[in-house]
Structures are given as structure tokens and as C-alpha cells.
Structure 1
Amino acid sequence: MPLLENPIGIFDSGVGGLSVLRAMREQMPNESMVYFGDQGHVPYGPRSMEQIQKFSEGITRFLLEQNSKLIVVACNTASAAALKYLRGRFPEVPFVGMEPAVKPAAEITKTGKVGVLATPATFQGALYASVVERFGAGVEFFQHACPGLVSQIEKGELESNATRAILEDALLPMLEKNIDTVVLGCTHYPFVIPLIERIVGAHVRVIDPAPSVARQVKRLLEVSVNLNQTSESQRVRFYTSADPASMKSLLPLLLGTDGEVEAVTWKDDQVTL
């Protein structure tokens, strides 16, 4: 199969990366994609950097076996812990990772106060510290790790009282500090944007990083002349390291479409079908 028609590989600790896949499908309607949700290991947030690097390397090898022409690390935690590591291990592979949207938030805030929702690993990583240092001058950032929110979204509980309680615990103190912008530093979190917007109100801007990541993927494919612009309809294959029925049941809710999900297994840090 020519490189042009090869799929884009995408991975996340669970279903969060589907928010990035959704944006990519909108911007690149002819691209086929392979999505890997490492639900057997979700969440990545509390795990060590070494462990996340090991998982990310195994998943990358699997996605390359599926002929992926570019790999999107659609997970803020994995990007913070493993993106540099992956680029060192696979120098010939183009990678696109997640970066907390601190720069656009700093550019649009009027109050100079910005809320950031992300996992502990993202906050502790050098990537987050570097973007705050580079782009956050003169802006005050209020951080919250939203413990339990990833698990709620993995269960498909986008509107439940428990999910609302987690978000209110994070956002209400930030609102008291006069934030006018919220940065979503985890790919799971865009799926609860409607709930976040109801909590913070119309005067607070919520930044979803997925569209800008999709634009970066498209730009890289255009530069390398690997963007598929034929009229063939795109195909998406889904893989999970947990129960495929669970991921399959979430696809209509999170993507607005159905799809087949295959199970894979981990053995000695390798992913096998």
C-alpha cells in the first residue's frame, strides 16, 4: 500500500484521544486512522515516567506494524512523559503530541487569570513548566488535577452528578479568583465541555486543544506530501487493551458513530493481537 494511503496512528491511555480523532476526521476527511486506547492501563496520570515510556514504546511499535505513516500521541500525560523519548527511539517517525494550550490562553485572557485542568503527571512534567515559562508571563495560572474525572469519562458519565461534583470542586474556586479562560490539559476533558460551560458561564472561554493538533497533523502531511486527498471514504480501526465491548459502547456517545473494536493483549511490554 502506498504511503499516501497508509493510516494515521493515534493512541491514548483510554478514550480521551477520541476527542483528537474527532477533530482530525473533520479536517482530513480522506485519511484512514488506527486508534489505540490502552484502557488496560488507564489512567496514566498517577504512573511513573518510565512506565509511561514503556507503554508508549510498545504502542508505537504496534501502530507501526499497522503501517501508520504518522503517530499522534493523543494523551497529555504520555506527551509529557514520553514524546521526547519516542522521538529518540524512532527518529524516522513523525510524531505529533499534546501541549497544554497555555499560549492561546495567555493571548486571549483579559483578567490575566487562567484555570488549567490536567493530570498530575502533566503538571509535574517539564513540558508544562516550559510552556508556562515561555508564554505565561504576566498571567496567573490556577491548576487542578480533577481526580476521578478520567474514570468518569471512561464510563461514559459525561453529565452525572458525580462528574459535575468533580468539576465544580475544580472550577468554583477558580471562578472566585476571576478566571476568564479554562485550558483543558487532558484529551478526555473536551467530552465534558458542555458541562464545564454550564458551570463557568458564558463569560469564560474554554480552550479545546484538539482542533489545533489536527491542524498540525494536516500541515505535516502536506509538507511531506503524504496527505490523502482522494475521494475514498476514511476507515477507522479501533483497538483496546481492555474489553472491546466497553469501548464500542462509548463510540456513539463520544464520536457520534459506531465502529468495530478489536482487543489486544500486553505481553513482555509488547502489544499483540
Structure 2
Amino acid sequence: MQLQTDWPIGVFDSGVGGLTVLNALREKLPNENLLYLGDTARVPYGTKSSLSVTRYAEQAAACLIRQQIKMLVVACNTASAVAIEPLRAIYPHLPIVGVVEPGAEASCEATRNGHIGVIATESTVNNAAYQTAILKQNPDASVVAQPCSLFVALAEEGWHDGPLVDQIVARCLEPFSMEHSQIDTLVLGCTHFPALRQSIARVMGDAVSLVDSAQTTAVYVSDLLQKTNLMNQSGCGAEVNFMVTDGPERFVRVASHFFSEKIDPARVQVVDIQHIHIPETES
């Protein structure tokens, strides 16, 4: 299949957190059409098994590919951690980008002493995706990962700042704030976490650089579009459209905490992907 430059970039996430990636893509690539799918019926992915997350990711990808996309961005850290390679095996003709690899690369560039911290959901931490990706980039790095799943609830409820949020963040980040901790770089390894960036920065202090996987992914996508000659050159106004698997009203309400543009509920389509056909792996 010949990919067309005016086709949209497909972006999927388990729910609303991936809107931080969509937002970064919108800012970095204002001429690109974007199609977002949030699997809100089965959120969160962070507590599910790798087998289930891979199946969910394959179904979401198949749904987006039916809409004719020129690139797939897996905006969920958990899905990126376990499903990127299975997706690439099924769709070798399609550029597929996850958020783990760009975040790992950026952390290796940002660190001064090689000590890197990662905060993510329990599933992403247990899968060791960031640890593996960072050590692949820099085998001499020291990586410490900490699950901070509570941050997801804070972000979705709009609790992004203030003394109470700082207290919760400080408690969750205690392993990184101990006197023996030497990290100088902290990866925000969940797409919800940039919403708490100010609080995390206050707790960690100026000596620790924060790496936002949403921003680094947008840069990575931009570079890949140029390398593959897939930049949209049509000159037409770019569109952003949305699909969810459940609860469009809640999606629109919570989206206001993550996406810079107001979403018209009429632009949110409800789709059923649980029984969608998954193609066989291409040889």
C-alpha cells in the first residue's frame, strides 16, 4: 500500500493521557492531520497483563489503519513497552513510533552523570522497557525506576498543582529524593505525568532535568516524517479528529486537562474495537 502524505497520523492511547502526545504533535506539526483513538472502555492499561495490552494495541492499530493513516504513534507508555514489536511485525509497511524509545534517547542526552530515574505505571516499570532502552543507548548508565500509578488519578481529576499535590508527589518520589540518590535526570514515563510537571519539578529541585516523553516523541515523529518524505505538503487546513471506545462525554471533560484545544463532542466518534479482525503477521 502506498502511503499518502495528506493521510493523518494515527495516535492511540488507553484513554486520555495520550492527548499530551497529541498536543505536542499539534504544536510541532501544525500542518499534519491527526486521528486520535482512546480505548476508554478498557482503561487503564497499566494494571493489565502484557498479553492483554498487546491484544488491545493490535485492535486499536487495526481500527486506525482502516481509516488510512500514514504513521502510527503509540502514545501509551504501557502499550509502547510491550506491543511495539508485535505491531511492527504485523504492519512492516507502516512507520510505527512508540514513546519509550524517544524518551530513553532524550534522557541519555540530558544526563550529565549517567544516573537516570524513571517514573511510570506499575506495568511499564515491571516490564523494564525504559531501563532496557536506556541501557541500549548507554550501557554505562545507572537506571532506577519507580511506579507512580497514583499520578494518573491526580492528573485525570485535574489535581495538577498546590500543597496537597506536592505532598503526594513528594511521598511517591521519596526513592529519588534520598540523600544517596544521584539521579540528575528523571523520565516522565507516562503520558499523564506532564500534567504534574510543575509539582514534580519543585519536589526534585533544579538539579534534576525532567524528560517529557510527549515532547521528545513529537520531535522524533517530525524527523521520521522528513526522512520518509511523508510530510503533508497539501497546504490544506489540518484536522484533528477523535475516536473513543466508551464515554465520549467524560473523555471531552477530562481532555481539558491534557489538550490545549477545546474538543467539540460532535467530533468524538464512538467505535467498537473489541472484535475487530487482526491481520496475520506479514512474512
Q: Same fold (TM over 0.5)?
A: yes
1:263 aligns with 2:267: no
Aligned mates of 2:119, 2:77 — CA distance in 1 = 11
Aligned mates of 2:60, 2:97 — CA distance in 1 = 15
2:208 match: 204
2:21 match: 20
CA 1:29–1:108 in 2, change beyond 3 Å: closer, same or farther? closer
2:51 match: 50
Opposite residue 67 of structure 2, the aligned amino acid is Q
CA 1:127–1:115 in 2, change beyond 3 Å: closer, same or farther? closer
Opposite residue 270 of structure 2, the aligned amino acid is A
Aligned mates of 1:225, 1:49 — CA distance in 2 = 34
Instruction: Please give the residue correspondences for 1:21-170 in structure 2 after superposition, counting only pairs within 5 Å.
Output: 21-99=22-100, 101-125=103-127, 127-159=129-161, 163-170=165-172
2:254 match: 250
Cα shift at 1:213:
1.4
2:232 match: 228
Per-residue CA distance 1:160-187 (angstroms, 9 max, x = gap): 6665444212223312224322111112
Cα shift at 1:232:
2.5
Q: Is the 8 A contact 2:131 2:143 kept in 1?
A: no
Cα shift at 1:31:
0.6
Opposite residue 213 of structure 1, the aligned amino acid is T
Q: Is the 8 A contact 1:43 1:151 kept in 2?
A: no
Aligned mates of 1:218, 1:225 — CA distance in 2 = 11
> RMSD in angstroms over aligned alpha carbons?
2.4
TM-score of the two chains, using structure 2 as the length reference:
0.86
User: Gapped runs of 5+ residues in structure 1?
Assistant: none
Cα shift at 1:15:
1.2
CA 1:121–1:184 in 2, change beyond 3 Å: closer, same or farther? same
CA 1:82–1:238 in 2, change beyond 3 Å: closer, same or farther? same
Opposite residue 79 of structure 1, the aligned amino acid is S
Q: Is the 8 A contact 1:15 1:247 kept in 2?
A: yes
Q: Is the 8 A contact 2:23 2:260 kept in 1?
A: no
Which structure 1 residue ranges, 4+ long, deviate > 6 Å from structure 2? none
Cα shift at 1:266:
4.1
CA 1:108–1:254 in 2, change beyond 3 Å: closer, same or farther? closer
User: Gapped runs of 5+ residues in structure 2?
Assistant: 279-283
Q: Is the 8 A contact 1:35 1:238 kept in 2?
A: yes
TM-score of the two chains, using structure 1 as the length reference:
0.89
